[in-house]
């Protein structure tokens, strides 16, 4: 069997590593935090990021990224976008034959690059022939509870895509194939922005009418950006598009949704983030998407209002009212 190293021990990285350990056998996971390393080694549980779930005995926690990556065949990448440049730089000297299966979502706020674009920038163009992204409606805790889950794997290399689909699929996790990397990366990233918006709607006391309206218009906004960046229209109606969007906008397990709820209650963004155990990717993605829309001259009103609420102290209810009072037009 290929030697697998999961890079990143947040909730999703840990849940996916545990899943691979249960279904494929020995898996190693690189852990940055000393307390998490000890927790997995001594308790067989990630008490910080995935508390309450005993981990597979096949899962081994390690702390030497470069050595472990050099000895692996597959790197399952689960590091937040804001830390990815630094991690890619560390991996650059040891990347050779390894396949990278990316689980992370988002844009790098400073460069406006997606994860695959950032990887090409740091690791070189050849990395795209070794790159697979997996996305779709998948809460970490529910995968850890063995709930049936369907996701999509995307790559430009058909043989690689089929290998990962065949190796990683099981009765618990069904993986579909897709070749629209640009579309899936945009959909996967932007759903977190819309989850913050949905949390703001919920935290403001509004109900399903408002949320359904928001999500429907969010699909238009996401596909508008995605198609401009080279994505295909049908991608946004698939698992990584509407599937993941519905999960994060209706699901209270979403960190981004919960951040939006707290923002609506009047709490300061810095205070909210300081109190969160895990990173809400939608914050950095909102900043990047707002700037990207301005640069490309694309109309993205929901993203714009989330940006104003998060970074310009706009009142959440005022932002919602401004969306409702925009110029009337055909659907």
Active site residues: 191
CA–CA distance, 79 with 319 (Å, rounded to integer): 32
88 neighbors 122 (Cβ within 8 angstroms): yes
- The sign of the torsion formed by the CA atoms of 48, 50, 56, 59 equals negative
C-alpha closest to that of 259 among 288, 236, 284: 284
Three-state DSSP state, 18: helix
Phi first, then psi: give them for residue 264, nearest 5 degrees.
-65, -25
Q: 177 - beta bridge partners? A: 153
**Coil vs helix vs strand at 44:** coil
Angstrom distance (rounded) from CA 130 to CA 86: 20
Question: Phi/psi class of residue 46: alpha, beta or left (left: φ > 0; alpha: ψ in -120 to 50)?
Answer: beta
R_g over Cα of the chain: 19
Q: Locate tokens 């900043």: which residue?
A: 287
Contacts of 215 by beta carbon, 8 Å cutoff, 6+ apart: 194, 198, 245, 246, 249
């Amino acid at each position: 069997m290929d030697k697998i190293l999961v890079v990143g021990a947040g909730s999703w990285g840990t849940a996916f590593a545990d899943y691979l350990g249960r279904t494929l056998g020995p898996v190693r996971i690189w852990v940055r935090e000393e307390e998490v390393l000890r927790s997995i080694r001594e308790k067989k549980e990630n008490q910080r990021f995935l508390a309450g779930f005993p981990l597979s005995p096949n899962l081994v926690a390690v702390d030497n990224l470069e050595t472990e990556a050099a000895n692996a065949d597959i790197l399952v990448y689960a590091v937040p976008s804001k830390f990815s440049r630094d991690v890619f730089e560390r991996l650059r000297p040891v990347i050779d034959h390894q396949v990278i299966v990316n689980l992370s979502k988002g844009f790098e706020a400073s460069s406006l690059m997606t994860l695959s674009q950032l990887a090409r920038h740091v690791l070189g163009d050849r990395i795209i022939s070794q790159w697979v992204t997996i996305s779709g409606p998948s809460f970490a805790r529910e995968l850890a509870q063995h709930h049936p889950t369907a996701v999509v794997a995307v790559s430009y290399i058909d043989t690689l895509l089929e290998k990962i689909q065949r190796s990683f699929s099981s009765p618990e996790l069904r993986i579909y194939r897709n070749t629209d990397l640009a579309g899936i990366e945009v959909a996967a990233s932007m759903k977190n922005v819309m989850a913050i918006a949905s949390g703001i709607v919920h935290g403001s006391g509004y109900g399903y009418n408002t949320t359904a309206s928001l999500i429907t218009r969010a699909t238009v906004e996401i596909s508008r950006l995605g198609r401009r960046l080279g994505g295909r229209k049908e991608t946004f109606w698939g698992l990584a598009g509407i599937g993941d969007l519905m999960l994060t906008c209706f699901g209270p397990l979403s960190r981004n949704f919960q951040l939006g709820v707290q923002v609506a209650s009047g709490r300061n963004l810095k205070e909210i983030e300081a109190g969160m155990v895990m990173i809400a990717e939608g914050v950095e993605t909102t900043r990047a998407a707002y700037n990207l829309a301005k640069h490309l001259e694309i109309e993205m009103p929901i993203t714009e209002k989330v940006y104003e609420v998060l970074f310009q102290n706009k009142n959440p209810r005022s932002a919602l009212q401004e969306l409702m009072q925009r110029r009337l037009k055909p659907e």
